[in-house]
Structure 1
Amino acid sequence: MYCSRCGKQVNAGASFCSACGASVASFGDVAAANPPVNFDGITRPRANRVVAGVCLGIARRYGWDVSMVRVAWLLAVVLCGTGVVAYIILWIAIPEESYALPAGPPTRVP
């Protein structure tokens, strides 16, 4: 099994990665559906984003629901009018997630 955060190999019975300390979950585990909060900084994910991934990146960074972040952003656009400009600035300022691949061969699921 490999850590989804740093890509290092993790023992089968481990709950946390020994290299980065991230929570490691099996496929049927509840923690896999709710990834831990990312304390390294905000990054725009490459998958599951709607426009540029700004709202999803903010939601993942702070552990919030992405739908609530998108609704709050929509309210900021409608009520204040500055949401579009802020979104474009954050689109440029927040880096994209890297293309990290595991160091070893992928594990098979029986």
Structure 2
Amino acid sequence: MSTLQRPKSGTMIGGVCAAIANRFGWSVTLVRLLTVASILIPGPQVIIYLILWAFIPKEI
């Protein structure tokens, strides 16, 4: 497992899904699909994504 950092490459919007996938050794595509699917369910998912985007550091 690596640290939780948004990668420089391989990101689509903010790199949050790629950071989570890299941290836990999951498929980036799977995390992205789950994120999009969760947005269809009512709740604060978009706000959580934006907060994570702000607080997960970018890879140096």
TM-score, length of structure 1 as denominator length:
0.52
Asked if the contact 1:76–1:82 (Cα under 8 Å) also holds between the matched residues in 2, the reply is: no
State the 1:84 CA deviation.
Answer: 0.7
Rg (Cα) greater in structure: 1
Match of 2:6 among 36, 44, 51: 44
Is 2:46 aligned against 1:84?
A: yes
Look up the equivalent residue of 2:37 and give its one-letter code. Answer: L
Task: Give, in whole Å, the separation in 2 of the partners of 1:81 and 1:71.
Answer: 17
Look up the equivalent residue of 1:45 and give its one-letter code. Answer: P
Structure with greater helix share of residues? 2
Residue aligned with 2:40, SS: helix
Is 2:51 aligned against 1:96?
A: no
Indicate the percent of aligned positions where both proteins have the same amino acid. 37
Report the aligned-residue RMSD: 1.0
The list of structure 1 runs, each at least 4 consecutive aligned residues, that deviate by more than 2 angstroms after superposition, is none
Look up the equivalent residue of 1:62 and give its one-letter code. Answer: F
Partner residue in 1 for 2:37: 75
Partner residue in 2 for 1:18: none
How many residues in Structure 1 have an aligned counterpart in Structure 2? 60
Look up the equivalent residue of 1:93 and give its one-letter code. Answer: F
TM-score, length of structure 2 as denominator length:
0.91
